[in-house]
């Protein structure tokens, strides 16, 4: 067993640069959860996990390389050069091993929320791996009977946050930045007219929109057969089969409101 060492994300990355882990494995503990952490008991919480892994599961050490606490602190666990007990069939062999991170919390919907310093820390570490084209693997991807790292963490949204980590404050939707006041997006399916409204709400033809084009939507009203406001005084008529309207997730809308 290696001594437990507290690290922030930047300190952890400096150490990780000395290794060549194949990918990052992301877990949640489920138990213990946020209620079991008081801001000071990092070692005690980790000891409870290690005792269970060693005494009950009969493993040679704690399963994970690091544990990430709600305060954004990492605590080292298993030797970084050893295979983790992480995801069956994906624990590596010899010098080709993944890096396993266990986040303290129960991140299933309705339970703890991955946010603040804890979210920032895991995003920074995930970006370190992603920038090297190394895969970020959620436990449930290869153990579908599990929710780990929690049903409250959407993989696609998580990876979008990873890719955009460190960029100016922005909310991204499938790689495209959202704008203040945006409520949705419109994808053009068949050629359709783009209209410009004047001060009397009369419409004038502007041009034809082509299939595949996408536009941010800022509003909708029932005038002229029902039209979407796409900004700048321009409108697109809601014609079935010609356009597809989508709304962002509740989480994205909440994040947009905070900007």
Alpha-carbon distance 230 to 207, whole Å?
A: 14
For residue 25, pLDDT over 70 is answered with yes
- Look at residues 109, 125, 246 and name the one whose alpha carbon lies nearest to residue 178: 246
pTM of the model: 0.68
pLDDT at residue 169 in the model: 75
Q: What percent of the chain clears pLDDT 70, i.e. is strictly above it? A: 99
pLDDT of residue 2: 56
Lowest mean pLDDT across 78-82, 111-115, 171-175, 232-236: 171-175
Mean pLDDT of 69-83: 96
Residues 119 and 107: their CA atoms lie apart, in Å, by: 12
pLDDT score recorded for residue 106? 97
pLDDT above 90 (res 27): yes
Task: Sheet with 192-197: list strands edge to edge.
Answer: 203-209, 192-197, 234-237, 227-231, 219-221
Average pLDDT over residues 47-70: 96
3-state helix, strand, coil split of the chain in percent (to 5) is: 25, 25, 50
- Rounded to whole angstroms, the Cα distance separating 209 from 145 reads 45
By C-alpha distance, which of 83, 78, 63 is closest to 21?
83
């Amino acid at each position: 067993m290696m001594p437990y060492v507290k690290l922030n994300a930047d300190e952890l990355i400096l150490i990780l640069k000395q290794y060549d882990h194949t990918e990052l494995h992301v877990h949640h503990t489920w138990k213990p959860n946020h209620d079991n952490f008081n801001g000071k008991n990092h070692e005690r919480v980790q000891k409870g996990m290690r005792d269970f892994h060693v005494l009950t599961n009969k493993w040679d050490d704690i399963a994970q390389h690091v544990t990430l606490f709600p305060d954004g602190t990492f605590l080292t666990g298993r030797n970084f050069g050893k295979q983790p007990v992480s995801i069956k069939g994906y624990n590596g062999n010899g010098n080709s091993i993944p890096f396993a991170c266990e986040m303290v919390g129960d991140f299933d919907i309705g339970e703890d929320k991955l946010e603040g310093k804890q979210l920032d820390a895991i995003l920074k570490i995930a970006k370190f791996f992603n920038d090297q084209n190394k895969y970020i693997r959620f436990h449930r991807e290869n153990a579908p009977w599990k929710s780990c790292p929690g049903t409250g963490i959407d993989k696609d949204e998580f990876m979008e946050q990873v890719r955009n980590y460190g960029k100016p404050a922005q909310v991204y939707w499938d790689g495209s930045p959202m704008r203040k006041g945006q409520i949705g997006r419109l994808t053009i399916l068949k050629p359709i007219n783009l209209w410009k409204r004047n001060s009397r709400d009369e419409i004038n033809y502007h041009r034809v929109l082509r299939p595949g084009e996408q536009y941010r939507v800022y509003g909708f009203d029932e005038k002229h057969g029902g039209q979407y406001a796409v900004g700048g005084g321009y409108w697109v008529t809601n014609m079935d089969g010609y356009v597809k309207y989508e709304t962002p997730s509740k989480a994205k809308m909440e994040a947009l409101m905070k900007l």
